[in-house]
Structure 1
C-alpha cells in the first residue's frame, strides 16, 4: 500500500487541458486578475463571497505550505508573501507550482492579454508544451475579414487545416457549451440558408461584439465542420487530434441545463472516428459524462477544474462517480490551470490527495489489487493522455507496475513533494536531519546531510544542491581520472518516495525511532533535465521502455549475502596498510542452513536486523545461514526495479550498522575468507504477463550481451575469484538452465530468472539496468532463443555437448575481459548511454590499477572496510 501512496504523490503527469500563465508584471495585478479566482468561477461582487468558502480555506492552508508561511496566516498575509516571491523570483514560483508536471497542453486562445506565450512554459517542464486550438476563436478571427459565408467557410477551413497540420497542435476545443449549449444538431440542416443567415447576423453585429460567435446554427456548424475535418485528416494518415468540449461547471454566463453532456450523444454517435474529451468532470453531470465514456469508444472523461473549485468531499465524490462506470483507460487528468501558477499547484496537490483516499479505500475493500490500482494511477496521470494525443512522451527514471510505465517522481519531484515530506515528518516527529544519498560508479554511497528546514527547500525545489561533474570519473579515495575536469556540476533532486528512517544508526537496539532519514536522488542538468550519467534515471528509463512497449511489468527481488567478520587491532601494523584492523572469521562451527551452537549465538543480531528492517518497511521473506564462516543470507521481497534497488541499499546499510553495534563487520566482499564459499548478490528478474515469444526474446538478448553485462555486474577483479565451476556461482559459460544453479542465468518459472553473476561490489542500479537493457535489445530485435536449457554445469560438458545446446560463449575470467566485451558491444552502449559507459570504463580501470598496486592482504582489508 505504501508503494501505491508513494506513486500517487510522485508520478509525473500530463496536464491535458490548461491555459497560459500570467506574465510577471501582471501576476500581482489583482484589480484585473483577482487572486480569489484560483478557487471560484464567480466574478464581480459574487467573488467576494469566496473568502468564506471551504475551498478557499483549504487552499489557504496549502498555499501556506507552498509559501513557507505559518498555517495560521491570513489570506492577505499569504498574498503579501506571494507578492514578495513574485518580485524576487517569479520563475522560481512557477517552477515550484509546476513541479511534477511532465508536460502541458494549453488552450492558448483564451486571451492574448497579460499572459506568456505557450512556448515560454517549456522552461518549467521536462516535456514540450503543446497547443489545443479553440475553434470559436478561429471563427472570430475569420469573421473579422469575411464578407459572406462562402468567404468565411474558406477562411475557417484554411485556418483549421493549418492547425491540423501543425505538429505543435495536438487537439482542438469548443466552448459551444458557453455560447449556445451542448444540444448540437448532429447533421447538416436541410436548409443551408440557416447557417448562412446565422453568419450574416454575426457579420452585422460583430464589430460591436468582437465577433463573438454565439448563434446556434453557426456554432453547431463549426463543431460539425471541425469534426469532419479531423475525421478526414485521420483517415488520410494524420495524427489523432481529439476535440475537447467544455461541459458542466462554468462562469455565470453558461446555461447550466444545456451544459449537460448527455446532449452530446447524437453528435458523438455521428462521428465515431473522432475522439471526444468531456472537460471539467462535467460537474455536476459527472455520471452522465461517465455513461458516455463507458458506452462510446471515442469518449474520454477529463477529471479537471473541480480541483480546487469544490470541497474535498465533493472532489472525492466526483472521482467515485467517474469510477462507477468509466474504465480507467478512459479517464484523463487536467488542472484547467490558468493565469496564476498556484492554480496548477492546488489542482495537482488536491487531485493526488483525492486519488489516495479513493484508491486506497478500493484496495482495502478488495475491489483492486495494489498492482491494478498503481497501473490505473499511471494511466490517468500520464499514459492515457500520452496515447490519446499521440504525444510520444517518454518518462525518464520511472518505476514500473501494472501493464504500463509508472513513476516515482523520476522526471521531477511531485507537485506534492512538500506534502510527502510533511506526511513523513508527522509520522516520524523525531527526525531532524535528512541524508541525501548518491551512489557513484564504484558502488560507493556518498551522503549530504541537511537539517529539515534546509531539506524542505530542496523538496520544494526552491534550492538546488550541485555536485561536481567529475564524480562520474572518481574512485573511492576521491582521486579522479586524469582526463576528468573539475569544471561543471549536476544537481541532486530528492526522490521523496524513497524516504527511509535511519534506524540502523540508532544508539539503542530497542529504540525504533531515529533522528535522521535517508533519501535517494536523481541527477539533473543545469536546465533541470535528466543527467544521462544518473544510474537511477537510467534504470527507470529502461524499465519504462520495456513496459510501455510490451505491456508487461518488470519485477526484481534481491538476495543479500553477507559475511560477519571480527575486527581486531593489528598488533603489528604495516605502514603500507592504511587499515589499523585485521579481520578474522566470526565462526568456525557453521554451515549452510544449519543451526549450530555458534549460529545460535547470532540470533540476537539476526532478529534485531529482521525487526529493524520491518520497521523500515522492508519485511524480509526469510534469513538463514550460508556456507562460509559467519555468512548469512537475507531475502528481500519483490518490487519494481528502482524501488527494489533502493530497498537493497537501505537493507545493506542497516545490516552493516547493526553489526557494527555488535562489534562485527558485515562485508559484501565476494570472497573475504580464502578457501570458503563466496558471497553473491543474486537478483531475480521477472516479466508479467509475458507470452513465450516475449520471454524467449528477452532471454536471447540477455545471453547475447551477457559478457558485456558482466562488466557492470562483476565490477572488480575480486569478483572473478568466485566465478568458477563447482561453486554454485554460475560456472564458466554463458548459459541458462531451469533450476540450474551452475548456469549464470537460472530459470525459476515462466519469464522469471535469477541472475547469478552479481555481487555486492556492483552499482546495482547500473547492473540491473544492464540486464534489462540486454533483454530490451532482444525484444526490440525479435531475437530467437538459440541456446538450449542446460541441465548440468556447462564446464563439465564436452565441446560437442555444449555446441549442441548452442553454448559457445565463455564467461569473462577477469575484469579486463568483461570491460573489453562492454567496449565492443555498441548496441548495449546505445541503450545504456555511450557517455555513461565511457566514464564507467575509465573509473573501473583506474580503480583496478589502484587496487593492483596493493598486496593481496592490503587489498582484502581495503575492500572489507568499504564493502
Structure 2
C-alpha cells in the first residue's frame, strides 16, 4: 500500500517544466519525425530507424495509448493515426496527458509555438526564458556599430521580461573559457571583427563571455546547456566541472546557475550543486533519450546533491511526444526509485512524497520566483 500511495502522490504533481522548447505547428513526415527522436543532425541512415532506440520504444509504449492505440503499436500505425488526428489534436492530447502545470519556454530556437500559442493550446501558464546569444545576434543584425554593441545589448536585455536567461556557450565554444568578465575595449574589438565578417551567429569567446556576464548583471537565474547535445558541441569541453572558477566568480553576485541536462556528467553536476549554494541541475533530455533506462539516470541524480537543488525538465523540442514522455518517464522513474527507499525503511513515505514535490514543482517555483506555479 505504501508503494501505491507514493505512486499516486507523484502522479498528482502538477509539474513545473523549467526548461522546454516549442512544438512544431505541423504534421511531420516520417523522416522529420525520426529526426526529432535523436540529437544527431545527420540524416537517419537507410538501413536503420530511430524508432529502434530507447526513445523510439518509449514513444510506442507511452504515447500510443494517448492517441487511442495499443502500447507497442508499430511505427507505421502510430504515424498514420497521428496524421489522421492532426498536429493540433495530437499536441493537445499529449500536453494534457503530461500533467505539467507550468512550462518555462526557452525561445532561442527559430521555429515552434511561442509562449502565447503554447499557453493557449495547453491551457497552462507558460513563461519565457531568453537565450542570451539570440538577443546578441538580434542586436548585431540591427545595424549597430561595434562601439554601440555593448550598451545596445544591455538595453535589449533589460527590455525583455523573462523569468530566466539561457546560455549556449557550451555549443558555441565550450566551458574552458576565461572565467573573468571581459573589458569593454576587448568586447568592442571582438565586436568589430564579428560585425565586419558578417557571421550569422556569435562564436567569439570574448563576446560569449560578455553576453554571459551581462546576464549575471541582469540578476535573473541563468540556465546553461551542459553536456549531452547535438554534434555541434564537443562533449569533452562541456563537463560542468570546467565551470568551477566561473561558478566561484558568480557567487558574490547572488545569481542562480542552473545546469541543464548534464548527462553523462550528471554526477559532476550533483557535486557542484552540493558545494555551491547558487548551483542547481537537472537531467532533462537524458530522461527522454534513455527511455526504459531513465530510472537509472534519475537514481544517479539523487545520489549526492541536496534535493532542493534538483529540478525537473523535459527539454522537449519539436514533438509534443517529448513533453509527454519527459513527464511520464520522470514520474515512473521517481516512483520506482523512491519506492525502494521507502520499502527498505531508509525513507519515510512522507519524506519521499515531499522530495518528489520539491523536484517536480517547488524548487522551480522558488528559483524562478513563479507566482503562478501550480499548488
User: Shorter-chain-normalised TM-score: which range?
Assistant: over 0.9
Aligned pair in 2 of structure 1 residues 58, 128: CA closer, same or farther (>3 Å)? closer
Return the alpha-carbon distance in structure 2 between the equivalents of residues 308 and 27 of structure 1.
21
The structure-2 alpha-carbon separation of the partners of 1:104 and 1:363, relative to structure 1 and needing over 3 Å to count, comes to: same
Tell me what 2:78 maps to: 78
8 Å CA contact retained: 2:256, 2:278: yes
Post-superposition offset of 1:252: 0.7
Following superposition of structure 1 onto structure 2, how do residues 543-554 of structure 1 map, counting pairs within 5 Å? Answer: none
Cα shift readout 1:600-625 (whole Å, capped 9, x = no counterpart): xxxxxxxxxxxxxxxxxxxxxxxxxx
Contact 1:38 1:343 (8 Å CA) reproduced: no
Larger radius of gyration: 1
Distance 1:58 1:350, change over 3 A: same
Tell me the residue number matched to 1:308: 288
Sort the Cα spacing of 1:324 and 1:40 in 2 relative to 1 into closer, same or farther, 3 A: same
Distance 2:83 2:273 in 1: 42
Counterpart of 1:180? 173
Cα deviation, residue 65, structure 1: 1.4
Could you say which residue in structure 1 is the equivalent of 2:94? 97
What per-residue deviation string (whole Å, max 9, x for no partner) do you get for residues 263-284 of structure 1?
A: 111111111210001001x001
Tell me the distance in 1 between the aligned counterparts of 2:27 and 2:107.
17
CA displacement 1:799-838 (0-9 Å, x = unmatched): xxxxxxxxxxxxxxxxxxxxxxxxxxxxxxxxxxxxxxxx
1:105–1:251 Cα change, 3 Å? same
Matches within 5 A, 1:138-287: 138-163=135-160, 166=161, 169-189=162-182, 193-206=185-198, 209-210=199-200, 212-230=201-219, 241-272=220-251, 273-280=254-261, 282-287=262-267
Distance 2:338 2:263 in 1: 20
**Cα pair 1:176 1:219 within 8 Å, conserved:** yes
CA-based RMSD: 1.9
Matched, 1:41 2:30: no
Measured in 1, the distance between the counterparts of 2:133 and 2:373 equals: 32
Deviations along 1:342-378, one digit per CA (max 9) or x if unpaired, are 1111111111111111111111222211000000011
2:60–2:72 CA contact under 8 A, matched in 1: no
Distance 1:295 1:162 in 2: 34
The answer for the alignment partner of 1:582 in structure 2 is none
Q: CA deviation at 1:57?
A: 1.9
Cα offset, 1:101, TM superposition = 1.1
Q: Distance in 2 between matches of 1:122 and 1:147?
A: 34
State the partner residue of 1:130.
Answer: 127
CA shift in 2, pair 1:214/1:49, >3 Å = farther
Tell me the equivalent position of 2:313.
334
Alignment of 1:323-402 (within 5 A): 323-393=302-372, 395=374
Structure 1 residue 30, shift from structure 2 partner: 5.2
Tell me if 1:109 matches 2:111.
no
Gaps of 5+ in 2: none
TM-score, normalised to structure 2, is 0.92
Greater helix content = 2
Offset, 1:44: 2.4
Contact 1:175 1:246 in 2 (8 A): yes
Q: For residue 116 of structure 2, what is the aligned residue in structure 1?
A: 119
Unaligned stretches of 5+ in structure 1? 231-240, 397-867
Alignment deviations for residues 308-341 of structure 1 (CA, whole Å, 9 cap, x no partner): 111422x222222221111111111111112211
1:363 and 1:369 in contact (8 A); partners too: yes
Q: Secondary structure at the match of 1:384?
A: helix
Count of aligned pairs = 367
User: What CA distance in whole angstroms lies between the structure 2 residues aligned with 1:148 and 1:367?
Assistant: 62
8 A contact 2:228–2:263 mirrored in 1 = yes
Is 1:290 aligned to residue 289 of structure 2? no
Q: SS state of the match for residue 158, structure 2?
A: helix
- Shift in Å, 1:242: 0.3
Q: Tell me the CA shift for residue 52 of structure 1.
A: 2.6
* Partner SS, residue 142 of structure 1: helix
Counterpart CA distance in 2 for 1:351 and 1:265 is: 28
* SS in structure 2 at match of 1:50: coil
Higher relative contact order (CA 8 A, sep 6+): 2
Shift of 1:109: 2.2
> Which whole-Å deviations, capped at 9, do the CAs of 1:134-161 have from their partners, x for residues lacking one?
0000000111134533211121011111
Residue 219 of structure 1: how far off its partner (Å): 0.8
1:51 Cα shift? Answer: 3.4
8 Å contact kept, 2:298–2:330: no
Matches within 5 A, 1:665-744: none
